Amino acid sequence: MQKWEYLRIRTDLVRVYSVADNPLLGDNTPKPPLDSYLAQLGDDGWELVGLIGTKPEGVLWVFKRPKR
């Protein structure tokens, strides 16, 4: 049976930062531009499975990939 790991990322108008404990994103670390960041997630095997609107003007991105 396939097992999955999940990554949640919240974005606002200015910054991209993690809302989960995630080794890809250190706390308070400057983040790359969104397009290159999303490309890197894809290269690392992450697949976008959902977007959830949050307040104020933010979006929660939910990704998954097979557990290694």
- Output the average pLDDT for the chain: 77
Q: Which helix (H) or strand (E) holds 1?
A: none
Structure-token pair, residue 46: 């992450």
Average pLDDT rounded to a whole number, residues 6-35: 62
Count of the separate structural domains present in the chain: 1
Average pLDDT rounded to a whole number, residues 39-67: 88
Q: Which helix (H) or strand (E) holds 37?
A: helix 34-43
- Is the pTM value of this prediction over 0.75? no
> What's the CA gap between 61 and 7, in Å, rounded?
8
**What's the CATH code of the domain at 60?**
3.30.1410.10
Q: Is the pLDDT of residue 12 over 90?
A: no
Q: What is the DSSP letter of 57?
A: T
Q: Is the pLDDT of residue 35 over 80?
A: no
More reliable by pLDDT, 63 or 55? 63
- Domain extent, residue 12, equals 4-66
**Under DSSP, is residue 40 helix (H, G, I), strand (E, B) or coil?**
helix
